[in-house]
Amino acid sequence: MRILHLRSPKGIFGAENFIISLAKKQQESGDKVFVAILNDCSNNKNTELLKKIKESGLCLIYLECKRFDVRIISKIRKIIIKEKIDIIHSHGYKSNFYSFFSSLWLKSVLRIATCHTWYSDNIKMKFYEFLDKILLKKFYRIVCVAPELVEEVKKNGIPEEKVSFILNGVDIFQNEMTKEASLVRKSLNLASEDYVIGTIARLSKGKGHVHLINILPKLLKDFPNIKYLIVGDGVLREDLSKEAKGLGVQDKIIFAGTRNDIIDILSELNLFVLPSLKEGLPIALLEAMAGKKTIVVSDVGAINMVIKDDYNGKLVIPGDEESLEKAIRQLLKNKQKATYLAENAFKDVVANFSSSAMKKKYDKVYRGENAN
C-alpha cells in the first residue's frame, strides 16, 4: 500500500508525534509511506519537526505555503499521480482541505482523515471548523480519537459506517532513555534536589496551564523544592509568564519551549501533570505512561478510557484547582502510592496503547472495515 500523510503543523505536538509513530509502523510492515508537511514559511518552529521526520527514515515532502494556497493543490495532485498513492491520510482542517481538492476525481485514491480534536478558540477557528465538517462528508473514512468527537462528527451528517474510534498509541521506550538524559537537568538549570512537576502541551487555553500555575504558591508553602517544567509553545506564552510573575513564582517555573528530546525530558520528571480543559487522547499522556511517570490528568475526552483513578494515575476535575492541588499533594506526601501508579501506567500502555496495536486498527480502516 502507498500512503501519503498530510499535515499543516505549528510545531512538534501530539498530532505530529502520532503521525510519525503511525507512519514508522506502516513503513516497517512494508507499506511505502510519504509524510507531506504544509509549512508556513514564517514558521521556523517546524525545523525540528522536519529533522525528526527525516531521522525516522520516512520520505519527507516539504510544501511551503501561506494560508490556503491553490498552487499546493496542484502540487499534491501531481505527487498522488506520480507516486501512485492509494491512501491520502490527512490530519487537521487545513490538510483536509488540500486532501479533498487535490484528490478530487481521482478514483484510485481514498481519502482518510483523523480528527485529533477541534478547538474553537475564536471566530476564525469556528469558521474553519465549519468548513472542515462539510468537507469530511466527502471522505472515505473518518477516525476520531475521542468518543465526543465521534458524536460531533455524526451530528454533522456523516454516516455511522464511515466513522471509527481509535485510541492513540505510542512507541514503548521506557528502557531506552538516551545517554543525553543526564544533561537535560543541567541544561534547564534544575538542581539535584528539585522535585520536578512537568507538563507537555502547547500553550493554549484548552490545555489549562493557568490552573497549574495558580496553585503553585500554595504548594510551595509545604514543598519548597518544587519546580514546574512547562514544555511547549503557543499563543499564551506571554500571558502565562505574566501570571507567574504576578504570583511571585516566576523563579519556580521553567518555560522550556518546544523540545525534540521528550524522552530525555520525561526521564527528569518526578510527576507528569496535564490539567487540560478539552482533549482527545493526548500523545504526551501515553508517552508519560511509557516513561513510567506518575500522572495527574484532567478527566476529559478519552482520558478516562486510559487512566483509572488511583490505579494508574490520578483523575481530576477539569478547571477545578482544588481538585488538582489535592491530587498533587497526595502524591507529594505518598511516594509509595506514586510508584504504584507509575508502574501500573507502564504496564497498561505496553499492553493496550502501543503504536503497533494502533497501526493494526488503522489497517482495518484503510480496508473499509470497522476498527471499533
- Looking at the fold, whether 339 and 197 belong to one and the same domain comes out as yes
Q: Are residues 12 and 150 in the same domain?
A: yes
Report the pLDDT averaged over residues 38-55.
77
User: Looking at the domain assignment, is residue 343 inside a domain?
Assistant: yes
User: Are residue 62 and residue 96 in the same domain, yes or no?
Assistant: yes
Q: How confident is the model at residue 260 (pLDDT cuts 50, 70, 90)?
A: confident
Give 250's strand partners: none
Tell me the mean pLDDT in the region 231-252: 95
The reply to whether 101 and 214 lie within a common domain is no
Give yes or no: residues 313 and 202 share one domain.
yes
In a domain, 174, yes or no: no
The verdict on 90 and 125 lying in the same domain is yes
For residue 279, the model assigns a pLDDT of 85
Give the pLDDT band (50/70/90) at residue 122: low
**Mean pLDDT of all residues in the chain?**
90
Q: Answer yes or no: is 175 within a domain.
A: no
Among 27-36, 50-59, 123-132, 205-214, where is mean pLDDT lowest? 123-132
Q: Do 95 and 188 reside in the same domain of the chain?
A: no
User: Is 67 buried (19+), middle (13-18) or exposed (0-12) by CB count in 10 A?
Assistant: exposed
Cβ atoms 35, 7 nearer than 8 A? yes
Q: How far apart are CA 163 and CA 161, in angstroms?
A: 6
pLDDT in tens, 277-289: 988 888 899 999 9
Q: For residues 114-122, give the mean pLDDT.
A: 73
Tell me the pLDDT band of 30, cut-offs 50, 70 and 90: very high
- The domain containing residue 12 runs over which residues? 2-169+354-366
**Residue 244, in any domain of the structure:** yes
Give the per-residue pLDDT at 155: 87
Q: Is the pLDDT of residue 356 over 80?
A: yes
- Mean pLDDT calculated for residue range 311-337: 97
Count of structural domains within the chain: 2
Measured CA to CA, the distance from residue 246 to residue 244 in angstroms comes to 5
Residue 306 inside a domain? The answer is yes
Is 206 inside a domain boundary?
yes
Per-residue confidence (pLDDT) for residue 40, from 0 to 100:
73
182: confidence class by pLDDT, cuts 50, 70, 90: low
Confidence of residue 121 (pLDDT cuts 50, 70, 90): low
Q: Is 340 a domain residue?
A: yes
DSSP sequence for 107-173: TT-EEEEEE------SHHHHHHHHHHHHHGGGSSEEEESSHHHHHHHHHTT--GGGEEE----B---
Residue 74 identity (one-letter amino acid): S
Give me 142's grid cell. Answer: 473518518
User: Which segments of the chain are extended strands (E)?
Assistant: 2-7, 32-39, 59-64, 87-91, 110-115, 141-144, 163-165, 195-200, 226-231, 253-257, 271-274, 295-298, 314-316
Q: What are phi and psi of 264, to 5 degrees?
A: -70, -40
pLDDT of residue 175: 45
| 56 and 43 within one domain | yes
Q: What is the mean pLDDT of residues 220-244?
A: 95
pLDDT of 178 over the 70 cut: no
- Model confidence band, residue 210 (pLDDT cutoffs 50, 70, 90): very high
Average confidence (pLDDT) over 316-328: 97
pLDDT confidence tier of residue 118, bands split at 50, 70 and 90: low
pLDDT of residue 220 exceeding 80: yes
Give me the pLDDT at residue 305, please: 93
pLDDT surpassing 70 at residue 304: yes
The confidence score (pLDDT) of residue 247 equals: 97
Question: 110-124, 244-258, 270-284: which has the minimum mean pLDDT?
Answer: 110-124
Same domain for 156 and 232, yes or no, is no
pTM value is 0.79
Residue 372 lies in a domain: no
The residue with greater pLDDT, 77 or 190, is: 77
Q: If you average pLDDT over each of 8-12, 145-149, 242-246, 264-268, which comes out highest?
A: 242-246
**Do residue 292 and residue 207 come from a single domain?**
yes
Asked if residue 156 and residue 23 are part of one domain, the reply reads yes
pLDDT at 4: 98
CATH number at residue 223: 3.40.50.2000
For the chain, the maximum distance between any two Cα atoms, rounded to a whole number of angstroms, is 65
pLDDT digits (tens, 9 = 90+) for 128-177: 778 888 899 999 999 998 888 888 888 888 888 999 999 888 887 654 45
Looking at the structure, do residues 220 and 331 belong to the same domain, yes or no? Answer: yes
